[in-house]
Every structure is written in structure tokens, then in C-alpha cells.
Amino acid sequence: MFDRKIRISILGNTGVGKTTLIDRMKGTEVRILRSKKTYDIDIEQKKIRLQSSNSFPWYHPEAYRKYQILAIDNPGEIKFRRQWREVLRTFNTDGMLFLLDPQQSIDSTRLVMEDAYNYFLDSIDLKPDKADEKAEFKKYIFHFVVNKCDTYLSIPFEGKSFQLTPEVKDHAVEFLSQFASTIEIYKETFPLSNIGISYISALYSPYSEIDKLFEILKVYLYET
């Protein structure tokens, strides 16, 4: 009876690490490098007890609460990307995690970010002016996640637990700053939405960092 739902669409270009992030969320061992692209929509679910619940006293419901995360893994490959519109329309998610890979080009990253914007508007209404009108009142979470932050380290990271050093974070912030104008368009079109940013390594960040992503979504959905 304490369970709550968080429904999230995972979007981003091919190879940015969407499936890897979902595998981590599910607790699957992903250190074995996968090279399989996603070709179809996958709905993944897991009930998790967020780590923040430890900080609540025993008599508080939050100490026992579980979150049913429903994550929709989408293919990033251009040929299949048009499916995003259908997914966004059908599953009525609370928000999207948009993943970026700093190893990919600025131009292609921006294009995919624009695709996500357009497909999301289409999913609201296929008539552009109607979609714009509805977008003004739409509450939604747009969370931009710079993934693969471990690739900023000078030697390839092979340890167990990746920590975001200030230097690595500076690089990631600089990378994301190239998309400030695109993110600004999201903000203008969806003034009631919540826009956030995270920096992770889906492969090597400790689970607590992965958990934090869902923590942020939880706070927005249930505590604001």
C-alpha cells in the first residue's frame, strides 16, 4: 500500500548508454560490455527502495515505501527513432531521461535532442499550434544526463566505483553548455516542466548515483 509509481522514457542517440542505465537500475551485471543495439521498445520494471528511505524514522511511511520504476527503453538508431512519438503518446510517462554521450559529436547530439523535443510535442497533439498550446500547461520532467563521464579520465577507467571529480565535472558541464540554447527552447515551450541535469557513468558509477536519478524524479513527482 506504500508503493508509488515513477514512469520514465529513456531517450538519446544510439550508443549513449540507455540500455546500460536500465540494466544498472534493474541490478543486472553489465560490466560485460554489450554491443547489442536496441531495435524495439522495451518496457522494464523494477520495484526499488530508494536509499533516501534509510534517513526516515521507522514510524514514517517513507521508510517502507517502494517505488515501482517503469522505464521505457527506446532504440536510438535513426531508423527506429520515429517510434518515440508513439511511445511518448501511449505510455504517458511522467518524464524523460535524455542521455548524452560526450564522445559523440555536438551536431548529432543536438539533432537527437531536437528530435526528442519534436516527437514529444507530436505526442501531445499532431497539430503544431494545438501542441504548443497544450505544452504551456504540461507538467513534465526533462532530465538531461551526461553519461560516460568516466571517458573524461586520462587513463581508461577500469576500477569498480567511479567518482565524479571536480575536473571531470568541469568537462561534462562544458560539454552540456553547448546545448544550452536547445534546453532553453524546452524551457520556453514547457514553462511548467521541471528541467534537471545529472552527470554519471552508467557503467561505473556506484549504485547510489544511479539511485539518485530516481530520487530526483521522486522528489519532483511526490514532494513538490
Ligand X SMILES: Nc1nc2c(ncn2[C@@H]2O[C@H](COP(=O)(O)OP(=O)(O)OP(=O)(O)O)[C@@H](O)[C@H]2O)c(=O)[nH]1
Residue with cell 513538490: 224
Number of residues binding to Mg ion, judged by CB under 5 A:
3
Cα separation of 121 and 58, whole Å?
Answer: 43
Helix ranges (DSSP H) in 92-206: 106-124, 128-135, 166-177, 180-189
Q: Which of 6, 7, 8, 20 binds ligand X (CB under 6 A)?
A: 20
By CB under 6 A, tell whether 202 contacts ligand X.
yes
Residues 49-88 that bind ligand X (CB under 6 A): 75-77
> What is the C-alpha R_g of the chain?
17
* 20 lines the binding site for Mg ion (CB under 5 A): no
Stretch of 18-26, 63-71, 105-113, 211-219 contacting ligand X, by CB under 6 A: 18-26
Could you give the C-alpha distances from 151 to 63, 158, 196, 212, in angstroms and in order? 36, 11, 22, 21
The torsion region of residue 27 among left (phi > 0), alpha (psi -120 to 50) and beta comes to: left
Work out how close the CB of 192 gets to ligand X at its nearest, in angstroms, rounded to a whole number.
28
Distance CA 138, CA 124 (A): 9
Residue keyed to cell 544550452: 180
Residue 129 C-beta: closest distance to ligand X, Å: 32
Q: Which stretch binds ligand X (CB under 6 A): 13-21, 47-55, 164-172, 184-192?
A: 13-21
| Residue 93 interacting partner from ligand X, Mg ion, none (CB closer than 5 to 8 Å by kind) | none
How would you classify the pairing of strands 42-48 and 67-73?
Answer: antiparallel
Asked whether position 9 contacts ligand X by CB under 6 A, the answer is no
Residues engaged in binding Mg ion (CB under 5 A): 18-19, 38
Binding footprint of ligand X on the chain (CB under 6 A)? 12, 14-20, 33-35, 37-38, 75-77, 147-148, 150-151, 201-203
